[in-house]
Amino acid sequence: MSGLGLDAIGWLSSALLVVTLVHQVRKQWKSGHSEGVSRWLFIGQLVASDGFVVYSALLGNWVFVVTNALLVVNALVGYAIVRHHREGEKKRQQRGVAGTPAPE
């Protein structure tokens, strides 16, 4: 198989992976909660993807440079959403159960 065919497989696979992960983070945002989602998932993804960006750049593999750079962005957004949801949950708990005003 030619280099162009191999690159096409890599770019298509990259696109599918990124779209899948972006969809999951978008779903997390729209649901309004991050129940069951560990912030360590995104921290681990961030660290691993950073390492893979450097590794891929040193190898000159642009499919993996771009893919992992996009995964870094995805991890940052996912982590920010988890933090946002957890902070919102704390505020709701401080006001009372399920967002109802706390008794005065």
pLDDT tens across 64-86, in order?
A: 999 999 999 999 999 999 999 98
Q: Is residue 86 part of a domain?
A: yes
Give the residue numbers spanning the domain of 27: 3-96
Q: In this structure, which amino acid lies at residue 59?
A: L
Is 27 part of a structural domain of the chain?
Answer: yes
Residue 34 banded pLDDT, cuts 50, 70, 90: confident
In a domain, 70, yes or no: yes
Domain presence at residue 35: yes
Who has greater pLDDT, 1 or 31?
A: 31
The DSSP H or E segment spanning 90 is helix 62-95
pTM above the 0.85 mark? no
CATH of the domain at 20: 1.20.1280.290
- To the nearest 10°, report the CA torsion of 49, 47, 24, 67: -10
Question: Is 37 part of a structural domain of the chain?
Answer: yes
The string of DSSP letters for 14-76 reads HHHHHHHHHHHHHHHHHHT--TT--HHHHHHHHHHHHHHHHHHHHHT-HHHHHHHHHHHHHHH
57: in domain: yes
Within a domain: 104? no
Number of domains in the chain: 1
Q: What is the pLDDT of residue 36?
A: 84
Asked if residue 101 belongs to a domain, the reply is no
